[in-house]
Structure 1
Amino acid sequence: MTQATRDDSSASATDSEMPSRAAAASLAGQSLHQRLTHHLERLTPNEQRIARFLLAHQDELALYNAAELSRLTHVSKATVSRLFRRLGYQDFREARDQARSLRHAGVPVVSSTPTPDHHQRHYEQECRNLRQALAALDMLDMEALGRTLANAERLQIIGFRNAYPLALHLRQQLLQLRGQVAVLPQPGQSLGEEVARLSATDAVVIFAMRRRPQGLARLLGWLGQAPCTVLLVCDDSLSEIPAGIEHVLRCPLDSVSAFDSYAAAMSQINLLATRLLHDDLVAGRSQIRRVTDTFESLEELGDG
């Protein structure tokens, strides 16, 4: 008896263990990893072989079809199909589509093997992102936004996770132009005591890129009701914008690789800072001179 025959015969006795309609519905909200780990000990030996392979290579699932997975794990294609039905999927394709959808949510997923033209495709995607980012800036009322940000007594910048470096970079640019610029929250601190002080003379720039932390939606809703002016910078995955947030700047993060690209966001920050400089060029130049003189007095920078 061949391995595939033994595999099929051993699995036939367990076909009755396929999930009921109610059980399948309960699995619908779970990731493949959750389903595999939950069912691992109840699987047949050959199903476990597939499951352990997937747990070790789950970021590569989007690359395979059922036949390739069968070949890589040395089990029959029928067993591959049975495993995914047992896990609550209609078939292998549904599980693969779920894996591919994770990439659009910001999860680093390998979607294709790098090819000789990978750098060229990366460059072309970056160009598309930049064009979209600049078009998004054109849709803003830059005159009103620039005036508001320039006149704000305090400018507070908020960013979490991958958006935190964006918040730091914007602060670093604006500190060369004006005072009273801060990133919230400070390390180890919470936001409540900071945002509670926001007034009509304050402005907030909040970066809300995908894979956002839990609670960010509540913070956005709160800022929408606050008296301050708010600029929200986000990608297209944020579909619901709370009422009261006056300015929304969309930023594409698409990439041909497993990771999101923030090059377009950095370009938007550059243009925002440049706009603020030109909105009050005299004061901006004065602050730049003060910063430069201080660098020289403290000898903080090298000659390079």
Structure 2
Amino acid sequence: MPSSSISFVKRILNAINDLPDAERRLAEFILDFPGDLASYEARELAGYAGVSNATVSRLVRRLGYSDFSAARHSVRSEKTLGSPLMLDAKQRDQPDTIAAGLAYSHASLDATFAALSDQALNDVVQWISRARMVWIAGYRSNQAFAAYFRWQIYQFLPLCQLIPGPGETIAEHMAHFEKDDCLVVFGVRRRVRQVDLLLEHARQTGMKTVLITDHLYGETKTVNRVLRCDTKGPGALDSHVAVAAVCSLLITRLFHASGAHGRRRLVAMEAAHEQADELAQN
């Protein structure tokens, strides 16, 4: 693995057992909140860790950086990828209160909905409603969003499938993609590499593609519509309030677009529930 692709924390862990005492003390201090390095000057870090400025310089060079600025730049870049370890901070902006959590959620929703457009949502609703098959994908935490979205729309749009299923590979589904299909991918950070492969294959097939992702996702020509959700949270972990809200908005619009056919599906499903007597009454 090229040295430039090794993370800041991994560099420290690789070296820590062989460091001189002062550098080891500094390394252990950094590992508690490595993301904070992005906001420190070298002299500030030295003062907090109780070491000299020269110790800071020696450590960053030993880790493979040309100087402290290069190390700090690396940390800043890694923070944008969404690593909880890098996002956690020793000094938090707000206390862990209900009011602070509510404020963050409101801010996330406001930023997300301000960036959406009715035209984008109308396009997505039209593509999903008219598709021969709707393929819905998500990896890691995104699998939960994909499963929820599919479960909701399956009640009135049965031609949808969550991929990949247990014991399946994504290629086994890619082989069945057709031009009249629609692919919905949940790709909120941190994404796996398969997401780009999946979207590119869908583009080559000619099907419509939708990516529901985070606010830091860049511009792309691979996807027909990108819906960005603000995921900034009050702590080390991302907030997914806006992802759930965008799902809810799409699901409601899709149900309304399904018209009489969708309502008939719900009637049939309610009758089946009653016949099976499988749902609690309270």
TM-score, with structure 1 as normaliser: 0.78
Which residue, 175, 179, 184 being the options, matches 1:200?
Answer: 179
CA distance 1:123–1:65, change in 2 (3 Å): farther
CA distance 1:66–1:141, change in 2 (3 Å): closer
Give per-residue Cα distances to partners, 1:277-301, cap 9 Å, x unaligned: 1112212221122222222222222
More displaced 10-residue stretch of structure 1: 176-185 or 139-148: 139-148
Which residue, 240, 255, 275 being the options, matches 1:262?
Answer: 240
CA contact (8 A) 1:62 1:110 kept: no
CA contact (8 A) 1:167 1:183 kept: yes
CA contact (8 A) 1:103 1:258 kept: no
Which residue does 2:153 correspond to in 1?
Answer: 174
Which residue, 19, 30, 33 being the options, matches 1:43?
Answer: 19
Measure, in 2, the Cα distance between the counterparts of 1:104 and 1:123: 23
Which residue does 1:275 correspond to in 2?
Answer: 253
Which residue does 1:159 correspond to in 2?
Answer: 138
Which residue, 119, 123, 128 being the options, matches 1:149?
Answer: 128
Which residue does 1:84 correspond to in 2?
Answer: 60
CA distance 1:247–1:72, change in 2 (3 Å): closer
Q: Which runs of 5 or more residues in structure 1 are unaligned?
A: 1-25
Which residue does 1:190 correspond to in 2?
Answer: 169
CA contact (8 A) 2:35 2:79 kept: no
Measure, in 2, the Cα distance between the counterparts of 1:123 and 1:103: 24
Please say which structure displays the higher CA radius of gyration.
1
Q: For residue 249 of structure 1, give the secondary structure of its aligned residue in structure 2.
A: strand
Structure 1: which 4+ aligned runs deviate by more than 6 Å? none
CA contact (8 A) 2:177 2:202 kept: no
Q: For residue 280 of structure 1, give the secondary structure of its aligned residue in structure 2.
A: helix
Q: For residue 212 of structure 2, give the secondary structure of its aligned residue in structure 1.
A: strand
Identity %: 31
TM-score, with structure 2 as normaliser: 0.84
Measure, in 1, the Cα distance between the counterparts of 2:97 and 2:71: 26
Measure, in 2, the Cα distance between the counterparts of 1:168 and 1:151: 20
Q: For residue 140 of structure 1, give the secondary structure of its aligned residue in structure 2.
A: helix
Deviation at 1:242, TM superposition (A): 3.5
CA contact (8 A) 1:140 1:249 kept: no
Q: Which runs of 5 or more residues in structure 2 are unaligned?
A: none
Deviation at 1:250, TM superposition (A): 1.8
Measure, in 2, the Cα distance between the counterparts of 1:68 and 1:118: 30
Deviation at 1:84, TM superposition (A): 2.2
CA contact (8 A) 2:128 2:182 kept: yes
Q: CA RMSD of the aligned region, Å?
A: 2.8
Amino acid at match of 1:289: V
More displaced 10-residue stretch of structure 1: 290-299 or 92-101: 92-101
CA contact (8 A) 1:140 1:248 kept: no
CA contact (8 A) 1:62 1:111 kept: no
CA distance 1:92–1:144, change in 2 (3 Å): closer
Give per-residue Cα distances to partners, 1:123-178, cap 9 Å, x unaligned: 33322321232234325344443233112232110111121111011011101212
CA contact (8 A) 1:204 1:231 kept: yes
CA distance 1:200–1:76, change in 2 (3 Å): closer
The count of corresponding residues between Structure 1 and Structure 2 is: 278
Which residue does 1:290 correspond to in 2?
Answer: 268
More displaced 10-residue stretch of structure 1: 142-151 or 103-112: 142-151
CA distance 1:227–1:53, change in 2 (3 Å): same
